[in-house]
Amino acid sequence: MDISVIIPLLNEEESLPELEAWIRRVMEEHNYSYEIVFVDDGSTDDSWHCIKQLKETNPNICGIRFRRNYGKSAALNEGFKLAHGDVVITMDADLQDSPDEIPELYNMIENEGYDLVSGWKKKRYDSTFGKNIPSKFYNWSTRCMTGIKLHDFNCGLKAYRNEVVKNIEIYGEMHRYIPVIAKAAGFTHIGEKVVHHQKRKYGESKFGMSRFVRGYLDLLTISFISKFGKRPMHLFGGLGSLMFIVGFIIGIILVVKKFAYHTYGMATRPLFYFALVCIVVGVQLFLTGFIAELVQSTSSKSKVYGIAENL
């Protein structure tokens, strides 16, 4: 199979028929063998019923329905497990991503050797203060922290080599940082393509202002995990050892002064308590790293989501 299109959705019944027809037209024009994987993330409207109706007319459609809303990351993660295409395309269901971009994205993966290509909505049709300015700051800070030179990390329109999606796992709100996760997994040939962004035609955005707080916290999390996720002792053990050594040296100096120069009242000196705190905190950090290593070595089970139906 040439292409798998993964579409996570929540309450998008109005846009699904138009989106499916658009994707089908593009695939047939270029003679691609394809599948469309709709992942219904706990919709409360008739989205799932619409997907089942679309499948009756297009056998290339399959779907997953969650029992409740787990979030976009969970939807993408389950969609990746089902993907059979050599190239996997992800896009949003709100018609703001154009399926006409698929052929060029496919070409960049298959013929130009990219592992991952991220869309860049260079010209956006969102509110300036509501999305544009926060998005620019978010992308700038992510570039600085991760070293990946992308302009739009959160663009839903992306293309992946199948090997990439089968070797990464996303959870929580980590869909914003899939390029970072892919790079940490060894897929370093990451590209970018300017894509057409359209105004939302139906419904309203499912993401509120809280996404900026969650996005910042997730950036710190993914930065830590990508560097120390497999070796937490390198961070905690290193800091703990450093603090312990500093406290131990200060303590030795105070003891030498006491017996060599016959100084008294060592326990009343602030430096003594500073040394004591360094030793205690150093031991605690070292033990934290040791426990984190034990947890990391034993927690190999993937999260299981409550899937209600498959098509």
User: Exposure pattern of 134-157 as b/e (b: 16+ CB <10 Å)?
Assistant: ebeebbeebeeebebebbbbbbbb
Quick: pLDDT tens for 75-112: 999 999 999 999 999 999 999 899 999 999 999 999 99
Contacts (Cβ under 8 Å, ≥6 apart) of 46? 13
For residue 205 the two structure tokens come to 């955005």
The residue behind tokens 């131990």 is 248
The Cα 258–Cα 265 span in angstroms is: 9
Q: Roughly how many angstroms between the first and final C-alpha of the chain, as a whole number?
A: 18
Q: Read off φ and ψ for residue 167, nearest 5 degrees.
A: -120, 10
Q: At what angle do helices 16-29 and 102-110 cross, to 10 degrees?
A: 50
- List per-residue pLDDT tens for the chain, 311 residues long: 999 999 999 999 999 999 999 999 999 999 999 999 999 999 999 999 999 999 999 999 999 999 999 989 999 999 999 999 999 999 999 998 999 999 999 999 999 999 999 999 887 665 555 566 777 777 887 888 788 888 888 889 999 999 999 999 887 778 888 998 898 888 999 999 999 887 777 766 655 555 566 666 777 777 776 677 677 888 888 899 999 999 999 988 888 887 777 766 667 788 888 999 999 999 999 999 888 878 766 654 445 555 666 77
Q: Are 67 and 39 in contact (CB under 8 A)?
A: no
Angle of CA points 19, 118, 306, to nearest 5°: 60
H or E segment to which residue 294 belongs: helix 270-298
What type of residue sits at position 247? G
Return the bridge partners of 88, or none.
4, 160
Provide the pairing of β-strand 190-194 with 116-120: parallel
Torsion of CA 127, 130, 134, 136, to 10 degrees: -10
pLDDT at 256: 84
Measured in whole angstroms, the distance separating CA 39 from the mean position of its chain's CA atoms is 17
pLDDT at 82: 93
H or E segment to which residue 52 belongs: helix 47-57
The Cα 89–Cα 108 span in angstroms is: 12
- 229: helix, coil or strand? coil
